[in-house]
Amino acid sequence: MKVLIVDDNEDSRIILKRTLESIGYTVEEASNGVEALKLAKESTPDMVISDILMPEKDGFMLCYEIKHDEGLKKIPFVFYTATYKDQRDEKLAIALGASHFIIKPVEPDEFLKIIKEVLQEYKEKKLPVPEEQLKEDIEIYRMYVDSLVKKLDKNIKDLEHELKAHHEIEEAFRTSEKRLSAVMDQAPDAFFIHNTQGQVVDVNKKACQSLGYTREELLSKTIADIDPEAIGKGKDKLWGKVIEGEAAVFESHHKHKDGDEFPVEITLGAIHLDHETLILGIAKDITKRKWAEKSLLESENKYRTLLENLPQKIFLKDNNSVYVSCNENYARDLKINPDEITGKTDYDFYSKDSAEKYRADDKRIMESGTVEYIEEEYIQNGKQYFIHTVKTPVRDEKGNVIGILGIFWDITERKKMEKENQKRVKELEDFYNIAIGREVKMKELKEEIQKLKNELSKYK
């Protein structure tokens, strides 16, 4: 079994060669795509394992040419890379015809397992048919440009020369560029491309619409004209980090032609060309979102004010009986601030027996999905109180129970009054019974007296 390994890093080739030779494979080496293609045509390998980022001809181009060579296109091609880790890189690799995409580092045993599986699929003619090279998906195109332009800007001229020798790839680039332009103009967000001095060099239709300028007018502007707030806050310092590969997302305000400003969310990215590096800024109008956030905050404040002014104690738990939030009255009982209750359980505040009782109630109610009204003892500061609790299952938008809402209040005084009333009723009942007994006896006495009077009258 002969394997051609392609990597411009000699140490990587040595490690890979030893790994493959340890299971009896014969290994040929190449330091770039040009050498590899030549070796493959001279002596057809059983498999090609290639890095991507290499001089003269990168791994993507090597894969493309092998898959378009009648004598080589059926050979399994495996990418083995530490530089290209994005899923979009993998999608491009598979679209070009690669059999597998392995990201370094990977354990030798796992690596060899993958290689053996690929070879077995090749023998059994089960390798998947490559997808179309450059899909219409904008993300695939961007990834392709990023792979062939951003990470190979030093060798872009050589790459362009090779692309010219392959009309199909050149045509694909032209088609993709047209598609990108069309997609950009259909995009719901504003696209701004500017140089590292902030001069705008390209925009899409949405950018013109959102700011009220024509395309020609915007191309005469700088980012300072469009987003003075961001420049004033030093956001232009992010450009250097973006060029180095870091992501940048922040909120700012864009200035309309009529002077009005509106909130936007900015996402920055870098475009590396052969002669310069440009910054791509995507601006999303977040006016509606800000309005919704403001409305939600006002609603939450009203809700919080209402809760904090209620005399009842209120709490919210998740479906594991873990506290999510509570109002000030309940937090005061627990001697904490309301925000400190998040993540706590009843075990943190009550005795084990009480905590288990409360949690058992929670579980029963969440499983039944019904509201329960509970009267029970409540210990606060070592004193015994009686409370009335209403526990209600909380459901999500699909109707699934996701937690429990509890509201309770002190009924100790009511319990005392009930006890006093019960005692008074008992006393009255006893008095009534005694009084009834006395009345019966008085009646019987009167009857006896009357009998005596009747008897006495007989002797007159």
For the cut 80, the answer to whether the pLDDT of residue 399 exceeds it is yes
> Rounded mean pLDDT of 190-199?
91
pLDDT at 370: 93
> Rounded mean pLDDT of 428-437?
66
pLDDT at 186: 76
Asked if the peptide bond before residue 128 counts as cis, ω within 30 degrees of 0, the response is no
For the cut 80, the answer to whether the pLDDT of residue 246 exceeds it is yes
For the cut 90, the answer to whether the pLDDT of residue 423 exceeds it is no
The per-residue pLDDT of the chain, averaged, comes to 83
| 345 vs 454, higher pLDDT | 345
Q: What is the pLDDT of residues 82-121, one digit of tens each?
A: 887 888 788 888 888 899 999 988 999 999 999 999 998 8
Spatial CB neighbours of 451, under 8 Å, sequence gap ≥ 6: none
Please state the pTM of the whole predicted model: 0.36
User: 3-class SS at 189?
Assistant: coil
Q: Which domains does the chain have, with CATH numbers?
A: 2-169 (3.40.50.2300), 187-285 (3.30.450.20), 292-410 (3.30.450.20)
> Left, alpha or beta for 333 (phi > 0: left; psi -120 to 50: alpha)?
alpha
| 295 vs 42, higher pLDDT | 42
pLDDT at 137: 42
For the cut 80, the answer to whether the pLDDT of residue 330 exceeds it is yes
> Rounded mean pLDDT of 315-335?
91
| 288 vs 457, higher pLDDT | 288
| 189 vs 134, higher pLDDT | 189
For the cut 50, the answer to whether the pLDDT of residue 409 exceeds it is yes
Q: What is the pLDDT of residues 363-372, one digit of tens each?
A: 999 999 999 9
- Which segment of 81-85, 237-241, 306-310, 401-405 scores lowest on mean pLDDT? 306-310
> Rounded mean pLDDT of 233-252?
86
Q: Helices (DSSP H) in 100-191: which residue ranges?
A: 108-123, 138-145, 156-164, 167-186
Q: What is the pLDDT of residues 146-185, one digit of tens each?
A: 655 555 554 445 555 664 555 665 666 566 666 666 667 7
For the cut 70, the answer to whether the pLDDT of residue 249 exceeds it is yes
> Rounded mean pLDDT of 188-200?
91
> Rounded mean pLDDT of 231-259?
87
For the cut 60, the answer to whether the pLDDT of residue 345 exceeds it is yes
pLDDT at 394: 93
* Beta carbons of 212 and 257 less than 8 angstroms apart: yes
> Left, alpha or beta for 31 (phi > 0: left; psi -120 to 50: alpha)?
alpha
Q: How many residues does the chain have?
A: 460
pLDDT at 147: 59
- Distance between CA 417 and CA 371 in Å, rounded? 27
pLDDT at 135: 43
Q: Which strands, in side-by-side order, build the sheet including 100-103?
A: 26-30, 2-6, 47-50, 77-81, 100-103
Spatial CB neighbours of 21, under 8 Å, sequence gap ≥ 6: 27
